[in-house]
Structures are given as structure tokens and as C-alpha cells.
Structure 1
Amino acid sequence: MSESKEDNQVTEPAADAEAPQAEPEVQEDTAAETAEASEQTEPQEPVEIPEDLDLRVEAALLTSPQPMNAARVGAALGGIPANIITEAIDRLNAHYSQTERSFRIESVAGGYRIMTLQQFGDVLAGITKQKATEAKLRPQQLETLAIVAYKQPVTRVDVEMIRGVACGDVLRGLMDRHLVKVVGRADEIGRPMLYGTTKKFLEIFGLASLKDLPNTESLTPIE
């Protein structure tokens, strides 16, 4: 279960207009998204709803390493309609609340995931301290990631204008972590690449969508 929530200047990569160098392909979360879309649009045949549906939904979400939307959960359980799965999730959350459990089923990155309540974050931090330390983003990475998240789609030059330093290496590092991807090209001279955040970004920060990003007025600068 997951919890529910360089700055030395670097050598600037060649300008976006460079043609000879191989450029990263636009990364897309196509496979899973296409499958999910098809599951949502294909007609559902009548199926028998098991009496222990709620337990089966809970088991599916506990087993999956990634968020699953209602259609995917239903498909995994034999073709149960998405609305029936959503009702089961609501019942499970009501039960968790009534019995004062330390977790809930939350909507994250277009799907559902069982997540620990925020007040128990220190428990998870203690268990996963070493892993969290190894995966921790450096201040310059967080700053660049925040700019991409709030300004996307955004070019490297635009990010560098905001930060005041070259960001090519930082962007590449974020792409290696699958937090940032190339989402297209700007309609301007040189056709520079446009960057945006990924589905994994939403998962890691516990966001259902980019609309759930905190209001910029409530943010504090990184020291």
C-alpha cells in the first residue's frame, strides 16, 4: 500500500533545432490507456454478480502494483460492469471508515488504489526510509518538475528561462525516472520539443489528475 500523498549549472544540451542528433521518441502510455478505453466502450454481456464482490474488488486492488480503473477491475473479475465496481468501492470505503481502518481506496492517475491515510504517513516513512532516501529527488529536480507540471506543455528553453540555468541534464534525469516525457513539438522555429508529466508522476504524488495539483499561491519556495 502506498501513502495517500545537479544546482550547479550543467552543460546545456544542443539547441532544440539540431537535426542530426537522434531525438527521444514521444513517450506515450498508449498500451494501458488504449486497453482501458476499449474496455470502457465495448458492450458488456450480462454476468452474474458474486455475493462476495466487495472482497474480490478489494483483492484485485491489493494485488495490482498500479492503479486500476473500474472497467479493468470489472474485466479482471469476469466482465462485471464498471458502475457495479464503483458501487463496491464506495461500500468498501464506507466499511473502512466505520471500522476506523488506516487506509482507503483513492482515485489516483485515472484509476483506484488502496492508500494509507495521511496521518499514518510516519509509519510508512519508517518502513520505507531507505528506499525513499534512494529515490528522493534533488531540489533542482523538484523545481524543474514543478515547472513542467504547472506550465506543460513546455519547452526546455522556457524551463531554463524560469530557472535561470541550463536544464537539459535535469530533464533527462526526470525522463529516466519516467516522471517527464516528450509530448510533442512547439509550432515555432526549430520545432523544439514540448515536455509534460507522465502517469507515473500522478501515481507517485497521489493525484487523480493534473487538476488536483495544489494552487500555486499555497506553495512555498524550496530552500
Structure 2
Amino acid sequence: MPQNDIAHHIEALIFSSIQSISIQEIVFALNSVFNEEFPEKLIHQEIKAIEEKYNKKDMVMELVSLNNGYQFLTKKHYHETVNQLQLHRSKKKLSQAAMETLAIIAYRQPITKLEIEQIRGVNSDYSVQRLLEKELISIDGKAETPGRPILYRTSGLFMDYFGLNNLSQLPQLKDISKEENAIGEPLE
């Protein structure tokens, strides 16, 4: 197969993937279709060439490394325009309760539903169920405590959705706390 054709197949795989696609998934797909052994080194080289192609000013998308894989995303210059369309189309937004639950899971994972409810102070059955349905969280086994409650953690889709490579990229509380949320006078 001509090398240019490999790049087109890789580009098609990344473009058609809803979530980020890993090098291993690309190799598997190519090996399955062409009955050849494609080395990961070749795939890395082709991905580098695709990245360079989409880094040009006249392209509206870019190839981004997310969650140990690759995904095409709109360049930041166009985010506001695309965001308006997404806001217009999104009828199934996450509720405030679901966002709170998701934040708790992201920062404290793995975590049980009881621990989530202790932090929030209210029942979180519905929020946890909605997050599972949207595949933003996943079940991570069972805790070794009495009753063996289910443990929850964020999913790969969560990482893609929020544009993270790993959880250390989550904002730290010191980065998001605002003075307007403070009580009393600041200490000198």
C-alpha cells in the first residue's frame, strides 16, 4: 500500500472516532483490513505528518492528543462559534446536581455513592444514574468496606469531553476560588 494511502486511512479513523483513538486501535484496524503488520513507529510518523497538515492557518481543525489517543478538534479561534451551535442544540444538559456529582467523582475517585451523598448532603441516585447513561463516569469495582458498595470514577469520555490527558490537569481549588466567595476580611 502506498504510504500516502496509509495516512488517509489513519486520518479517516481519527475523524470517524467519537472519542480519542489510540495508536493501538489504529494499528489493530489497519492490520485487520490490510492483513499486514503496521509498526507503531510508522503510525506515529504518519500522525506527525497529519498534525503538521492540520496546523496550517487555513485549517479549522487540529489533531490533538487526548487521553492517550488522538482526536480532531476545532481550533480555539472557532470555539465561540461552535459553542453557540452546541448550546443551541443541547437540550439534555447536565443539571447543577449532576455537575456537582461529576466534580466530586473527578476529584475524589474512586468514590462510593454514599461518600458522594455525604459531601453533597442530598441523595445522588438520579445524578449518578444520568452520568452513567451519558458515559461520563464508569463503575470501578467494589469497595472493601462492609456491604461492598460500588466505586465510581470518571471515564475516558469525561477526559475527551473536558480536553484532558490526565487527571492532574483538573483545575486545582486554589486556581478557581474567587474572592467574592470568601467570607470575612483577608489576613495580612
Question: In the alignment, which residue of structure 2 is the partner of 1:121?
Answer: 79
Change in Cα spacing, 1:216 to 1:80, as seen in structure 2 (3 Å) is: farther
Percent identity, please: 28
Alignment of 1:109 onto 2:67: yes
- Runs (5+) with no aligned partner, structure 2: 182-188
User: Which structure has more helix as a fraction of its residues?
Assistant: 2
Change in Cα spacing, 1:212 to 1:86, as seen in structure 2 (3 Å) is: farther
Which has the larger displacement, 143-152 or 191-200?
191-200
Aligned-partner Cα distance in 2 for 1:52–1:202? 30
Counting matched residue pairs gives 174
**Bigger relative contact order, structure 1 or 2, given CA contacts below 8 A and separation 6+?**
1
Question: In the alignment, which residue of structure 1 is the partner of 2:7?
Answer: 54
Match of 1:87 among 29, 45, 50: 45
Secondary structure, aligned partner of 1:89: helix
Aligned-partner Cα distance in 1 for 2:58–2:158? 29
Return the offset for 1:114: 0.6
Which TM-score applies when normalising by structure 2?
A: 0.79
Q: Is the 8 A contact 1:49 1:80 kept in 2?
A: no
Aligned-partner Cα distance in 1 for 2:9–2:136? 31
Any idea what the Cα deviations from partners look like across 1:162-220, whole Å, max 9, x if unmatched? Answer: 11222122212211222222212222222222111122212222222323322232235
Q: Is the 8 A contact 2:62 2:72 kept in 1?
A: yes
Which TM-score applies when normalising by structure 1?
A: 0.68
Change in Cα spacing, 1:107 to 1:186, as seen in structure 2 (3 Å) is: same
Aligned 1:155-170 pairs, distance under 5 A: 155-170=112-127
Aligned-partner Cα distance in 2 for 1:127–1:106? 21
What amino acid is the match of 1:189?
Answer: P
Return the offset for 1:100: 4.5
Which has the larger displacement, 208-217 or 191-200?
208-217
Superposition CA RMSD, Å: 2.3
Q: Is the 8 A contact 2:13 2:26 kept in 1?
A: yes
Return the offset for 1:67: 2.1
